[in-house]
Amino acid sequence: MILTVTLNTALDLTYGVPELVPHASHRVSDMSERPGGKGLNVARVLSALGHETAVTGFAGGSTGAVLRELLAGMSPQDTATKAENGATPAPAPITDALVTVAGNTRRTIAVVDRATGDTTQLNEPGPLVTTDEWTTLLGRYEELLTGADAVALCGSLPPGIHVGAYAELVRLARTAGVPVLLDTSGEPLRRGIAARPDLIKPNADELARLTGSREPLRATRDARRRGAHGVVASLGPDGMLAVTPDGVWQASPPAKVLGNPTGAGDSAVAGLLSGLVEGLSWPDRLRRAVALSTATVLSPTAGDFDRAAYEELLPRVGIEEHTTAA
């Protein structure tokens, strides 16, 4: 089982409009809603890849009730995703291990301009979490770690949660001997990386804010020196750069694509985690992560990925190994 932690879950709403015009009224052409927050997006993709997952974090209020109802009946893909060897794993179950809070779960709204494919994102801050609710989450998390093969800590912190929360969760995972991936930003990332997670996955902007450098290789190496065992940096349309104890690689999609980038980073996390659990080599983990993230950009719905595009892209992802030491 792979555990994902989403402290700031969300009900993701995606609105499609024929053309987004500032200061104008718009008629929505299509709309979808689904459980969201980075870790829930990761779990959805992991399930489609055939990996059993459990999700924890916080959910509350009327929005949280809708989120959990959708989560209970959620099938991550209408058809199972084909594995690279030609087998077709059925979507695996997603276990709801969320902690109920008094506050109302936030909503995120993605407005997709169907004429250009561009997306405008609006994110609410999330509910205020009390000390007792955080203590309950810690107990639930430690119980779940006993059956986990890997854990992903994903996304922003809701109000009321201390800035060192991810560092605390990283240390608990390391004590339990469970590989842990951290995907957050700002001060929670800075504190979390000092707790020595197995892997972090910042994007270019998050990496620059952490290290002060916008040169990808230099910044990624600097991030690793700060405590992470491995760093995989998302470089947007240029793919991903990995600096690991085993070497340095860059993975690039075969072509740049236009579309909705919402959830692309979460799909990459799912690719990296599933590859870790399956014992894939670093190049194969990166191929999967880049193919999944690119296929997510091509999907019109936030947090989903285009299965046919993924299968077509996977063997075409380019891998370059850097000969210099990590």
Kindly give, in sequence order, each residue whose CB lies less than 8 Å from that of residue 243, ignoring residues fewer than 6 positions away: 217, 220, 221, 223, 224, 230, 231, 233, 326
Burial 316-325 (b: 16+ CB within 10 A, else e): ebebeeeeee
Query: Which pair of structure tokens corresponds to residue 215?
Result: 């040169």
Asked if 162 and 151 count as a contact pair (C-beta separation under 8 A), the reply is: no
Among residues 12, 183, 198, 266, the one annotated as catalytic is 266
Question: Strands 106-113, 53-60: parallel, antiparallel or unpaired by DSSP?
Answer: unpaired
263 Rama class: left (phi>0) / alpha (psi -120 to 50) / beta = left
The reply to whether 304 belongs to the active site is no
Backbone torsions φ then ψ of 217, nearest 5 degrees: -65, -45
Backbone torsions φ then ψ of 19, nearest 5 degrees: -160, 130
Of 216, 198, 196, the residue nearest 206 (C-alpha)? 216
Residues noted as catalytic? 266
